[in-house]
Structure 1
Amino acid sequence: MDLNIILASASERRHELLKRITEDFKIIISDFDEDSIAFRGNFEEYVKSLSEGKAREVSNLCDEECIIIGCDTIVAFNGEVLGKPKDRQEAFDMLKSLSGNIHEVYSGITIIRNKDKHVLSQSVCTKVKFSYLTEEEIITYIDTGEPFDKAGAYGIQGYGGVFVESIEGCYYNVVGLPMNKLKSLLKEII
């Protein structure tokens, strides 16, 4: 792809995944205030709003012709959004609640073509089933430090992958960037 692509994300996982689609992109980290978007019960609309806020924030900083990619991922369980845990106790509580249960991972992707401000925004949902976790397993996992920068307090691509009994949908969505959806959106906006 011979485009000026900008990824509006600080996530190392998203950087690595985008490299599988194109090596030619820049990173501009968005300062978008995620707390400015209230969750109103619709997970798909919520993640699309978050991803669009990130993409628009970076779009406003760019005066060049470019394609801006914004993305956000959440874990949904029992009607609630599980974000990144603030501390050990919150990580423990999240993992304990996911133990033995099915939850959903939603990602919103927004692409902005900066020259005409054309916006495409979609969401992807993947169902994830966790096996039963003992308290010792949860504490050992928390001790790795991995849960603290991950929605839902786990990373499927890391140590947390051992908890995943099955998934229904896109694996890369759970990692944080649904590549198949992103590739199709890029084709559509070019």
Structure 2
Amino acid sequence: MARSVFSGNVLSTLLTLASRYRVILASSSPRRKELLSQLLGCSVSDPSFEVVPSTFAEDLNPGDFPSTAAYVAETGRRKLIDIVERVACTTVDDADRRPVLVIAADTIVVVDGAGVAADDAEGGRQRKGQKVLNKPESETEHLQMLRLLNGAPHTVQTALWIAVPSQSKVLSGVAETTVRFAECSEDALQAYVQTGEAKDAAGGYKIQGLGGVLVQSIEGEYANVVGFPVHLFAQLSQSL
């Protein structure tokens, strides 16, 4: 992986985004809201940006794409388009005449290898020897997801999109982190499902909560596993 090179003003760029733009986060995720608040230098209770969740159905089929990265990127792009179209007529409508900056993201967990049976329809969506795990839709599916992850590595991919519609500017990228679960007993997996902590999380666990107990190691950016790759966001922001 190529090394990232940041200019000296990368921090000032991030800290002035909220004064330069009317920032809109196209996600209802508390985790993304918290991380973006930190990057913009504001508190979660009084953020300098708006939260306008995308209504995109997230019903794309991973098997229709050449890679899981392409799949998650397209899902993120659809979320971005949904919000851009909804705010298209209000790009400079605030008191300071700031252009709108829309931020959208989508996170998936990808399991590769022999543990993914070709006829296994539970716990995620199939793609050529891979299983893409989004949010569990039931406790049964949640447990199936954790069984797939148990004692094995998987990849967390987050697509990040940034757009300034009035300037026809669109930036994007996909961050990847490899996570390895510890060997956990069936009782431990069931107990985690019962906490309800991660019923709204891709892959069925939250590394920043009790789910961190299940994780043995990670390679890559921690914030990407949480759902908002701050390093990638900083990279993209340099081009604004």
- Flag whether TM exceeds 0.5 (same fold): yes
Q: Distance in 2 between matches of 1:92 and 1:34?
A: 22
Residue of structure 2 aligned with 1:75, choices 109, 114, 119: 109
**Partner SS state of residue 167, structure 2:** coil
Please list every run of at least 4 consecutive aligned residues from structure 1 whose deviation after the TM superposition is greater than 4 angstroms.
none
- Alpha-carbon deviations, 1:51-110, whole Å to 9, x = none? 111111101111212110000000000211011111111111110111110000000001
* Structure-1-length-normalised TM-score: 0.95
Q: Distance in 2 between matches of 1:52 and 1:120?
A: 10
Mapping of residues 1-190 of structure 1, within 5 Å: 1=16, 2=19, 3-22=21-40, 23=42, 24-35=48-59, 37-39=60-62, 40-62=65-87, 63=89, 64=91, 65-78=99-112, 79-188=130-239, 190=240
Identity %: 36
Q: Distance in 2 between matches of 1:16 and 1:128?
A: 22
- The amino acid of 1:150's aligned partner reads A
Assess if the C-alpha contact under 8 Å between 1:56 and 1:112 holds in 2: no
Shift of 1:187: 2.0
- The amino acid of 1:25's aligned partner reads F
* Structure-2-length-normalised TM-score: 0.76
Q: Distance in 2 between matches of 1:145 and 1:41?
A: 34
Q: Distance in 2 between matches of 1:5 and 1:187?
A: 16
Alignment gaps of 5+ in structure 1: none
**Partner SS state of residue 70, structure 1:** strand
Alignment gaps of 5+ in structure 2: 1-15, 43-47, 92-98, 113-129
Q: Distance in 1 between matches of 2:205 and 2:226?
A: 10
RMSD: 1.0
**Partner SS state of residue 233, structure 2:** helix
Shift of 1:147: 2.4
Assess if the C-alpha contact under 8 Å between 1:73 and 1:106 holds in 2: yes
